[in-house]
Amino acid sequence: MPGLLLGDEAPNFEAETTQGRIRFHDFLGDSWGILFSHPRDFTPVCTTELGRAAKLVPEFSKRNVKMIALSIDSVQDHLSWSKDINAYNGEQPEEKLPFPIIADANRELAVKLGMLDPDERDKDGMPLTARVVFVFGPDKKLKLSILYPATTGRNFDEILRVVDSLQLTAYKKVATPVDWKPGDSVMVVPTLPDEEAKKLFPKGVFTKDLPSGKKYLRYTPQPE
């Protein structure tokens, strides 16, 4: 089945968007990137999602993350819908959002990326796009994939949190535990020997005692 797996390189597709024609790799440049699909323009859950995404663009920009949305509607529909999204956010109803929306009217890109939801169909019986989130690294490879059904809106605060985790763990030999938030302690990766961990993490490594006697729960303050 078409789609992307973790570690796959993003296809360098061309597409029409609300900000003109793009080539995906050129759009990403050296940045991290989030490509997120939604089922349809002028629908309630999608409007709340894109409104929230627009509000969070400054936070994603601080993290060197570019955002781009995708739907099976036309560029003109996207532009018209953008007025509603801005109005939902309490702003001027302009045909402009702080990120582009891809027009995939023939569903070619949605099929290629494995974004279709077989259980949600339009009035003609054609499948709609699911709520997919792809996070790509500066190397254009897929770092995270989340798939939601059409009936469940995404949590963009969670997407921001996982970006923080992905960026931290990409450059430091740590992993983030359950419910981690920026500033919380992190875990030393199991493959790192104790002596090397002590050198890498001068703030200290703290091991939790367990009944098994195994010393695998090693914590350290979040490195800078």
178/161 Cα distance (integer angstroms): 12
Angle 38-30-2 from CA coordinates, rounded to 5° = 40
46 catalytic per annotation: yes
Whole-prediction pTM: 0.92
Domain 8-154 has CATH 3.40.30.10: yes
Q: Identify the burial level of 175 via C-beta atoms within 10 angstroms of its C-beta, where 0-12 means exposed, 13-18 middle and 19 or more buried.
A: middle
Q: What is the pLDDT of residue 1?
A: 41
Per-position pLDDT tens, the chain of length 224 = 458 999 999 999 999 999 999 999 999 999 999 999 998 899 999 999 999 999 999 999 999 999 999 998 999 999 999 999 999 999 999 999 999 999 998 888 988 898 877 777 766 667 677 899 999 999 999 999 999 988 899 999 999 999 999 999 999 999 999 999 999 999 999 999 999 999 999 999 999 999 999 999 999 999 98
Map out the domains of the chain as residue ranges: 8-154, 172-221
Classified as helix, coil or strand, 9 is: strand
What's the confidence (pLDDT) of residue 122?
67
Residue type, 196: E
Question: What superfamily would CATH give domain 172-221?
Answer: Antioxidant, Horf6; Chain A, domain2 (3.30.1020.10)
* Per-residue pLDDT at 177: 98
CA distances to 59, 177, 186, 187, 197 from 213, in Å = 42, 20, 21, 18, 19
Catalytic residue chosen out of the listed positions 10, 28, 34, 46: 46
Q: What distance, in Å, lies between the first and last C-alpha atoms of the chain?
A: 41
pLDDT score of 106: 86
